[in-house]
Amino acid sequence: MADARHPYPPDVSFDGGDLDCGNGLLLLIRQHIDPLRSGQLLEIRSQHASVEEDLPSWCRLTGNELVSLHHDGGQRSFLVSKGEFVPPAENSRAVPVGDTPVPVAATGDGKAGKGRKRHKPRMAVTQPVVSPTLPERLPEPAAAPAIEPLSVMGVGSWPRPKWLLRALHEHLQGRIDDTEFTEYADDAVRLAVQHQVTAGVDVVTDGEQRRDNYSSFVGGLLENCQLIPITDLLPYVDDPQQFERELHALDVPAGEVRHPAVFGPLGRGRSLATHEAEFVRTLTDTPVKVSLPGPYLLTRTMWMECVSDRAYDGRAELARDIVRILREEAHHLLAAGVSLVQFDEPVLTEVVHGHVGQGGRTFMCGALGERQETGTELAFARDLLQEVVADLPPERLALHVCRGNWTGDETKALAGDYRPLLGLLGDVPVGTAVLELCTSRAGEVETLADLPADRRIGVGLINQKNPRVESVEEVEQRAQRAINVFGTERVLFNTDCGFATFADNPIVTADAAAAKLSVLTRVRDTLRRARGEG
Amino acid 365: pLDDT: 44
Cα distance from N-terminal residue to C-terminal residue, the chain? 75
Same domain, 164 and 96: no
Average pLDDT rounded to a whole number, residues 82-97: 65
Q: Is 428 left (phi over 0), alpha (psi -120 to 50) or beta?
A: beta
CA-to-CA dists, residue 230 to 50, 118, 216, 243, 280, angstroms: 20, 19, 11, 11, 31
Q: Would the pLDDT of 9 be above 80?
A: yes
Domain residues for 76?
12-107
Chain centre to alpha carbon of residue 181: 19
Task: Indicate the number of domains in the chain.
Answer: 2
CATH of the domain at 55: 3.30.110.40
The verdict on residue 237 lying in a domain is no
% pLDDT > 90, the chain: 60
Amino acid 266: pLDDT: 94
Amino acid 258: pLDDT: 77
CATH of the domain at 406: 3.20.20.210
CA-to-CA dists, residue 514 to 187, 360, 485, angstroms: 18, 39, 28
Dihedrals phi, psi of 224, to nearest 5 degrees: 65, 40
The pTM is what?
Answer: 0.82
Q: Which residues contact 137 (CB under 8 A, 6 or more apart)?
A: none
Same domain, 193 and 284: yes
Distance between CA 193 and CA 336 in Å, rounded? Answer: 18
Distance between CA 150 and CA 369 in Å, rounded? Answer: 37
Amino acid 410: pLDDT: 79
Same domain, 97 and 161: no
Q: Name the H helices within 269-373.
A: 274-280, 295-302, 315-335, 347-353
Same domain, 466 and 387: yes
Amino acid 427: pLDDT: 98
Q: What pairs with residue 164 in β-bridges?
A: none
Amino acid 112: pLDDT: 36
Domain final residue, candidates 49, 76, 107: 107
Distance between CA 524 and CA 534 in Å, rounded? Answer: 11
Same domain, 95 and 179: no
Amino acid 173: pLDDT: 83
Distance between CA 156 and CA 148 in Å, rounded? Answer: 19
% pLDDT > 70, the chain: 83
Q: Would the pLDDT of 54 be above 70?
A: yes
Amino acid 504: pLDDT: 85
Q: What pairs with residue 433 in β-bridges?
A: 399, 457
Same domain, 501 and 446: yes
Question: Which helix (DSSP H) or strand (DSSP E) does residue 262 occupy?
Answer: strand 258-267
Higher-pLDDT residue of 4, 265: 265
Q: What pairs with residue 3 in β-bridges?
A: none
Of the candidates 458, 460, 456, the residue with the CA atom closest to the CA atom of residue 431? 456
Amino acid 53: pLDDT: 85
- Read off the pLDDT of residues 156-171 as tens digits, 9 standing for 90 and up: 999 999 999 999 999 9
Higher-pLDDT residue of 534, 33: 33
Lowest mean pLDDT among 210-219, 233-242, 433-442: 233-242
Amino acid 429: pLDDT: 97
Q: Would the pLDDT of 319 be above 80?
A: yes
- Read off the pLDDT of residues 436-469 as tens digits, 9 standing for 90 and up: 999 999 999 999 999 999 999 999 999 999 999 9
Q: Would the pLDDT of 44 be above 50?
A: yes
The verdict on residue 239 lying in a domain is no
Q: Say if CB 235 and CB 50 are below 8 A apart.
A: no
The verdict on residue 355 lying in a domain is no
Higher-pLDDT residue of 507, 285: 285
* Mean pLDDT score across all residues of the chain: 86
The verdict on residue 309 lying in a domain is no
Higher-pLDDT residue of 228, 513: 513
Which of 118-122, 136-140, 153-157 reaches the highest mean pLDDT? 153-157
